[in-house]
Copies of this chain bind each other. A is one copy, B any other.
């Protein structure tokens, strides 16, 4: 099967929670509208930014329904359905298709740790077959699950076994491997860049057209601007936007990363998404103030996504 390739940036949204820890669906329509207005082309929900592995299957289904319902026109909803239980993931894939999702995806399970491409293909096969008409994206993020497998071998191995395998969300540092995958089989697979700190070099390397971001939640306008600047041949502007994006990431890294620190930024720009789930350690009020001050120092609030 051949699917449309993604052009532009998809956002990996955070999951809103009430103070008591329950999932909160209420902010989703406003959230979706803001992302669309900031230039994002869709969402990749229930992934790592969305604390998908910390949700029950029922919660994941409810989120899928809410996002699809809230999605503006021409705004893709891709549902991360990966879990340690491939049976559950198969069911989640089926549900996503039934609800009208644009696509699905899954990372390698963190347990049992995947040590061979064959195990990964078997896992993907079982999941992707739950939504056989939708594009399936493998989410490669080995730092999170230890699945340091060669992606070119995966692309070769899915041949004939996963007809709806569409591509890879590539969240790893090797632009060499990324480029080799991009060129494989005359560019058949959609290689979505998955690190907001290096969008510019990935564009230079090989005409990447799509990506999935985590800091796009609050800094999407700047990240979109990198691509726009590159497309119009303005390398200096592209660098300026990329450097700014790195400055924002520098701040987040001091506050336990995007899932914890980044989620709290949403509150600072006007969309309180509540706490993180266990085992994440939530940002304290003191940390929130300090982070806000650091963001002000780089004029973040003038350049960030707006409601």
Contact = CB atoms under 8 A, between A and B. Distances in A.
A175 interface: yes
Say whether chain A's binding surface is mostly helix, strand, loop, or mixed. helix
A94 to B, nearest CB: 14
Contacts of A174: 173
B180 A279 contact: no
A202 B202 CA distance: 10
Contact of A110 (B110, B205, B280): B110
A176 B197 contact: yes
A interface bracket (residues with beta carbon within 8 Å of B): 35 or more
A152 to B, nearest CB: 9
A24 interface: no
A86 B51 CA distance: 12
A174 B249 CA distance: 14
A203 B200 CA distance: 10
A86 B239 contact: no
A21 B202 CA distance: 42
B279 A53 contact: no
Nearest to A146: B146
A232 to B, nearest CB: 13
Contacts of A179: 242-243, 246
Interface string A266-303: 00000000000111110000000000000000000000
Query: Which 9 pairs between the two chains have the least Cβ-Cβ distance?
Result: A201-B201, A204-B204, A173-B173, A110-B110, A176-B197, A110-B111, A119-B279, A86-B278, A53-B84
